[in-house]
Amino acid sequence: MASDTLLRRLRTEIATIPLVDSHSHVPGPSPTARSLDDILGYHYYTELAHSSGMPKDCLDASFNPQERCRTLLGWLPKLANTAQHSWFVQICRDHLGFTGNQPDRSDANYLWNTAQSVFNAPGWEQELWQRTNLEMIFLTNDFDDPLTGFDTSRYIPCLRTDDLVFHFHKPEVRERLAKATGIDRTDAIGVREAVGRLFQHFLAKGARACAISLPPDFSPQPVSLSAFDRALQSAEAGNPDCVNGLFWLLAEFCRDYHLPFDLMIGVNRRVYEDGVFQGQDLFDRRTSLLQFRRLFNNFPTVTFPVSVLDGAQNQELASHAWIFPNVIAHGHWWYANIPGIITRDLRERLQAAPLCKLVGYYSDAYKLEFVLPKFTMFRNILAKVLAEDLVEPGYMSEEQAIAAAQGLLNGNARQIFRRHS
Amino acid sequence: MASDTLLRRLRTEIATIPLVDSHSHVPGPSPTARSLDDILGYHYYTELAHSSGMPKDCLDASFNPQERCRTLLGWLPKLANTAQHSWFVQICRDHLGFTGNQPDRSDANYLWNTAQSVFNAPGWEQELWQRTNLEMIFLTNDFDDPLTGFDTSRYIPCLRTDDLVFHFHKPEVRERLAKATGIDRTDAIGVREAVGRLFQHFLAKGARACAISLPPDFSPQPVSLSAFDRALQSAEAGNPDCVNGLFWLLAEFCRDYHLPFDLMIGVNRRVYEDGVFQGQDLFDRRTSLLQFRRLFNNFPTVTFPVSVLDGAQNQELASHAWIFPNVIAHGHWWYANIPGIITRDLRERLQAAPLCKLVGYYSDAYKLEFVLPKFTMFRNILAKVLAEDLVEPGYMSEEQAIAAAQGLLNGNARQIFRRHS
Amino acid sequence: MASDTLLRRLRTEIATIPLVDSHSHVPGPSPTARSLDDILGYHYYTELAHSSGMPKDCLDASFNPQERCRTLLGWLPKLANTAQHSWFVQICRDHLGFTGNQPDRSDANYLWNTAQSVFNAPGWEQELWQRTNLEMIFLTNDFDDPLTGFDTSRYIPCLRTDDLVFHFHKPEVRERLAKATGIDRTDAIGVREAVGRLFQHFLAKGARACAISLPPDFSPQPVSLSAFDRALQSAEAGNPDCVNGLFWLLAEFCRDYHLPFDLMIGVNRRVYEDGVFQGQDLFDRRTSLLQFRRLFNNFPTVTFPVSVLDGAQNQELASHAWIFPNVIAHGHWWYANIPGIITRDLRERLQAAPLCKLVGYYSDAYKLEFVLPKFTMFRNILAKVLAEDLVEPGYMSEEQAIAAAQGLLNGNARQIFRRHS
A1 contacts in chain B (CB < 8 Å) = 1
By Cβ distance, the residue of C1, C297, C318 closest to B273 is C297
- What lies within 8 Å, CB to CB, of B178 at 6+ separation is B184, B194
What is each CA distance from C291 to C213, C276, C294, C297, in whole angstroms? 15, 31, 8, 12
Query: Residue A322's closest CA among B418, B62, B219, C280?
Result: C280
- Alpha-carbon span A187 to A234, nearest angstrom: 11
Query: What ipTM was reported for this prediction?
Result: 0.97
Query: What's the one-letter identity of residue B312?
Result: A
Query: Residue A25's closest CA among A147, A117, A116, A155?
Result: A155
List the alpha helices (DSSP H) in B30-102. 36-40, 43-52, 65-75, 83-96
Averaged pLDDT score across all residues of chain C: 97
Q: What are A372-413's pLDDT values in tens digits?
A: 999 999 999 999 999 999 999 999 999 999 999 999 999 999
- Alpha-carbon span B51 to C21, nearest angstrom: 24
Give how far the C-alpha of residue B239 lies from the chain's centroid of Cα atoms, to the nearest Å. 27
Give how far the C-alpha of residue A201 lies from the chain's centroid of Cα atoms, to the nearest Å. 22
Per-residue pLDDT, A129: 98
Query: Running DSSP on this structure, what letter comes out for residue C141?
Result: B
What is the CB neighbour count within 10 angstroms for residue B35? 16
- Alpha-carbon span B264 to B332, nearest angstrom: 10
Report strand pairing: C267-268 vs C282-283.
antiparallel
Per-residue pLDDT, B1: 59
Partner A contacted by C278 (CB < 8 A): no
Q: What angle do CA C19, C21, C24 make, to 5 degrees?
A: 150
Query: Running DSSP on this structure, what letter comes out for residue B421?
Result: -
Partner A contacted by C133 (CB < 8 A): no
- Alpha-carbon span C324 to B280, nearest angstrom: 9
By Cβ distance, the residue of A288, A324, A397 closest to C272 is A324
- Contact between residue B390 and residue B401 where contact means Cβ atoms under 8 Å apart: yes
- Alpha-carbon span B227 to B248, nearest angstrom: 13
Q: What are C123-167's pLDDT values in tens digits?
A: 999 999 999 999 999 999 999 999 999 999 999 999 999 999 999
Per-residue pLDDT, B235: 84
Q: Per-residue DSSP letters for C310-352?
A: -GGGHHHHHHHHHH-TTEEEE---GGG-SHHHHHHHHHHHHHH
Query: Running DSSP on this structure, what letter comes out for residue A237?
Result: T
Query: Residue A86's closest CA among B403, B386, B395?
Result: B395
Q: What is the average per-residue pLDDT within A129-156?
A: 98
| pLDDT grade for A420, boundaries at 50, 70 and 90 | low
Residues 32 through 71 of chain A touching chain B, CB cutoff 8 Å: 47-48, 50-53
Please determine, looking at this structure, whether the domain spanning C35-119 carries the CATH number 1.10.2020.10: yes
- Contact between residue A6 and residue A391 where contact means Cβ atoms under 8 Å apart: yes
Q: What is the average per-residue pLDDT within A13-40?
A: 98
Lowest mean per-residue pLDDT among A95-99, A246-250, B1-5: B1-5
By Cβ distance, the residue of C286, C300, C404 closest to B286 is C286
- What residues form DSSP beta bridges with A283? A267
Partner A contacted by B283 (CB < 8 A): no
Query: Running DSSP on this structure, what letter comes out for residue B141?
Result: B
Question: Which chains, if any, share at least 3 CB pairs under 8 A with chain B?
Answer: A, C
Is the pLDDT confidence value at C421 over 60? no
Q: What is the average per-residue pLDDT within A233-261?
A: 95
CA distance A251 to chain B (A): 29
Q: What are C215-250's pLDDT values in tens digits?
A: 999 999 999 999 999 999 888 899 999 999 999 999
By Cβ distance, the residue of B297, B321, B390 closest to A81 is B390
Q: What is the average per-residue pLDDT within B125-144?
A: 98
We find that the CATH architecture of domain C127-416 is Alpha-Beta Barrel (3.20)
3-state DSSP assignment of residue B21? strand
Q: CB distance C310–A290 less than 8 Å?
A: no
What is the CB neighbour count within 10 angstroms for residue A189? 11
By Cβ distance, the residue of C290, C348, C355 closest to B78 is C355
- Contact between residue C177 and residue C201 where contact means Cβ atoms under 8 Å apart: no
Averaged pLDDT score across all residues of chain B: 97
Report strand pairing: C261-265 vs C304-308.
parallel
Per-residue pLDDT, B70: 98
CA distance B54 to chain A (A): 35
- Alpha-carbon span C259 to B293, nearest angstrom: 47
| pLDDT grade for A1, boundaries at 50, 70 and 90 | low
Partner B contacted by C301 (CB < 8 A): no
Domain positions in chain C are 35-119, 127-416
- Contact between residue B37 and residue B69 where contact means Cβ atoms under 8 Å apart: yes
CA distance A337 to chain B (A): 9
Q: CB distance C357–B284 less than 8 Å?
A: no
Q: Which element (helix H / strand E) includes A249? A: helix A240-257
Phi, psi of A203 (to 5 degrees): -65, -40
- Alpha-carbon span C83 to C72, nearest angstrom: 17
List the alpha helices (DSSP H) in B182-323. 188-204, 225-233, 240-257, 293-298, 314-323
Q: CB distance A287–C282 less than 8 Å?
A: no
Partner A contacted by C86 (CB < 8 A): yes
Per-residue pLDDT, A235: 84
C53 contacts in chain A (CB < 8 Å) = 325, 356
Q: What is the CA radius of gyration of chain B?
A: 22
SS3 content of chain A, % helix, strand, coil (to 5): 55, 10, 35
Q: What are C267-289's pLDDT values in tens digits?
A: 999 999 999 999 999 999 999 99
Per-residue pLDDT, A3: 85
- Alpha-carbon span B243 to B264, nearest angstrom: 16
pLDDT > 70: percent of chain B: 99
B313 contacts in chain A (CB < 8 Å) = 285, 312
Q: Which fold has domain A125-416?
A: TIM Barrel (3.20.20)
Per-residue pLDDT, B205: 97
Per-residue pLDDT, B421: 56
We find that the CATH architecture of domain B135-416 is Alpha-Beta Barrel (3.20)
